[in-house]
Amino acid sequence: MDVLCVLCVVAPLVHTMSEGEPVAGVTSLGEEIYLLRRKDSGTDQVEVYDVTSYRLLRCLTVPNAIRFIDITSCANLLCLYISDSWVDCIHRLDLHGNAEQWPVSDEPSRLSVNANHNLIVTCIDVRKIKEFSPRGELLRDVILPDDVTHPWHAIQLTSGQFIVCHGWVRPNDRVHRVCKISSDGRHVVQSHGRQPGSDTGQYNVPVHLAVDDTEFVFVVDCGNRRVTLLSPTLEYVRQVVSRDQSKWWPGRLCLDVQRRRLYVADDKPDLTAGRVVVFSV
């Protein structure tokens, strides 16, 4: 009975970071948190915060950037990657703000880094996962199955398989779910979800993922304004963040495995403001 009670409890709130421009992504690296802001000024788009005090330390500028989609980090190479859907490119920044960029050739969506320190780019419109070397060399294209429509985010497991979330309200995709897909992209191995809805076995636009070191999966369910936890075999475990804990619409997340902190980006629907909420998991 005690275990069941624990599984029903949502994650406790640790801290709410200050509101500002809408948040296009959040990641952590070492002792710092990196917030990617959608700014009209074209400068200081990445805000760097102390991971303990949440104090703003400095800002980084992404040159020649137009429309941000996501940010991720590589702990091995100490760098940041940012996707830009306007010019279909990836921006790479080191921690001092030195920048370079390379083309994706398709519109990039969400990002992750695999065990080989390569960048995984999800391309929503063409149903592809692209793997790039840290310097932008295209290593391979992975074409997803036909029924994986509008894939938002992909994370590659150490086995080589991918966890992918997909489904959009335009043009009314019939299935919104999270899938485990074979390393060659051809087969759906396991899945969680069905027609869009709000039950525990349903999603309404699952847009972003995080996977911990035991392969439990955190899913941002944007339309339902919640974060769901799935087992390594994609079985429902519990709701980690409820709609009552989301002031607006959650759209991105980052898991700090070492500190067991979940950073959830929460934006106004009209994208006029955003914040990051920190939970203990």
pTM, to two decimals: 0.94
Please check the confidence at residue 45 and state whether its pLDDT lies above 60. yes
pLDDT at position 39: 85
What's the whole-number mean pLDDT along residues 254-281?
Answer: 95
Where b means 16+ CB within 10 Å and e means fewer, 99-110 reads: bebbebebbbbb
Q: What are the two backbone dihedrals, phi and then psi, of residue 8, each rounded to the nearest 5 degrees?
A: -90, -10
pLDDT at position 42: 82
pLDDT confidence band for 119 (50 / 70 / 90): very high
Angstrom distance (rounded) from CA 206 to CA 173: 12
Angstrom distance (rounded) from CA 187 to CA 97: 40
Alpha helices in the chain (DSSP H): 2-8
SS3 label, residue 123: strand
The residue type of 91 is H
Angstrom distance (rounded) from CA 205 to CA 159: 26
pLDDT confidence band for 204 (50 / 70 / 90): very high
213: which DSSP letter?
T
Please check the confidence at residue 33 and state whether its pLDDT lies above 50. yes
For 65-107, write each residue's pLDDT tens digit.
Answer: 889 999 999 999 999 999 999 999 999 999 999 999 999 999 9
For residue 59 the two structure tokens come to 């800002």
Contact 230, 212 (CB under 8 A): no
Q: What is the CATH number of the domain that holds 199?
A: 2.120.10.30
Tell me which residue range forms the domain holding 134. Answer: 2-280
Count of domains for the chain: 1
Please check the confidence at residue 2 and state whether its pLDDT lies above 50. no
For residue 83 the two structure tokens come to 């996707």
pLDDT at position 7: 47
Distances (CA, A) of 39 to 36, 58, 232, 248, 272: 9, 16, 37, 19, 10
pLDDT at position 275: 96
For 130-187, write each residue's pLDDT tens digit.
Answer: 999 999 999 999 999 999 999 999 999 999 999 999 999 877 799 999 999 999 999 9
Distances (CA, A) of 267 to 167, 220, 251, 275: 20, 13, 7, 6
Contact 139, 119 (CB under 8 A): no
Cis amide leading into 171 (omega within 30)? yes
Contact 73, 58 (CB under 8 A): no
What's the whole-number mean pLDDT along residues 44-56?
Answer: 96
Entry field: residues in the chain: 281
